[in-house]
């Protein structure tokens, strides 16, 4: 078996650099880090170590990047 494909490109990490304008993102009001995603009238927030939560509004979360406490009062439109 030929071993010519040993240099596969590493899995590209999707950086937050290109905003996909889904309209469901909840982002930090200070640094723009993604805090959560609106889903079916709830806020889906993923924390480290795989902990995931669904919040009803108003939802609050601390930004993992800058520590700002953010509050979402409703689904963004």
Among 54, 66, 69, 76, binds Zn ion (CB under 5 A): 66
Contact between 77 and 23 (Cβ < 8 Å): yes
- State yes or no: residue 30 binds Zn ion (CB under 5 A): yes
User: Residue 33 interacts with Zn ion (CB under 5 A)?
Assistant: yes
Contact between 35 and Zn ion per CB under 5 A = no
Among 16, 19, 31, 41, binds Zn ion (CB under 5 A): 31
Tell me which residues touch Zn ion (CB under 5 A).
28, 30-31, 33, 63, 65-66, 68
């Amino acid at each position: 078996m030929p071993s010519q494909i040993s240099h596969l490109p590493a899995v590209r990490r999707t950086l937050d650099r290109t905003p996909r304008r889904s309209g469901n993102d909840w982002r930090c009001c200070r640094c723009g880090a993604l805090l959560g995603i609106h889903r079916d009238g709830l806020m889906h927030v993923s924390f480290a170590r795989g902990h995931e939560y669904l919040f009803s509004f108003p939802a609050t979360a601390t930004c993992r990047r800058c520590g700002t406490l953010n509050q979402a009062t409703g689904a963004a439109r």
